[in-house]
Amino acid sequence: MGSNEDIMHEFVRRELKRLYPTVDGWQIKPVPRAEGEEQCFLVTRRILGRSEGANVVVSFEQKVDPAIVDQLKSCKVSGVSNPGKVLVVPRGADTSDIPDDVRTLEMQSFGFDGDELIWLKRRAQMSEKTPAKESA
């Protein structure tokens, strides 16, 4: 059985697959993490004889600590000379202290409602069904 954190990271992996599709050659691998660290993923592909990739770190914090950038730098993508840096956060997270060279992606699965982290249902489920208009 997995923990809530494992389930939350599975949603993140799905979102990464949407952004970095396997049909385009992208490979997404989780990085083992130490106690107290956020989950990192390595996203890589080989295309036209060159490698490209990104270090991805996931934070579920409402106010993202700028020290997370150090964790992004510590994830190494082998064979990629200048990997991108990507931070994945819930909707409504405060990323104002994150440097501009870090690409910030908001999750579609999670967001903040006030101070509470909530799971956002699919858009079709989020919109209320409107009653059918009566014909006059």
* Tens digit of each residue's pLDDT (9 = 90 or more) over 47-99: 888 889 999 999 999 999 998 888 888 777 677 778 889 999 999 999 999 99
Our count of domains for the chain comes to: 1
Please report the pLDDT score of residue 132 as a whole number: 47
Task: Using alpha carbons, list the distances in angstroms from residue 88 to 12, 73, 124, 126.
Answer: 8, 15, 23, 22
Is there a domain that residue 131 lies in? no
Residue 27: which domain range? 4-122
Q: What is the predicted pLDDT for the residue at 103?
A: 93
* Nearest to 12, CA basis, from 33, 35, 43: 43
Q: Is residue 58 part of a domain?
A: yes
Residue 94 domain-assigned (yes or no):
yes
Across residues 16-39, what is the average pLDDT? 87
> 134 lies in a domain?
no
pLDDT of residue 133: 45
Instruction: Write the CATH number for 113.
Output: 3.40.1350
Q: Answer whether 6's CB lies under 8 Å from 13's CB.
A: no
The pLDDT of residue 136: 43
Residue 42 lies in a domain: yes
| pLDDT-derived band at 17, boundaries 50, 70, 90 | very high
Please check whether residue 63 lies inside any domain of the structure.
yes
Residue 72 within a domain: yes
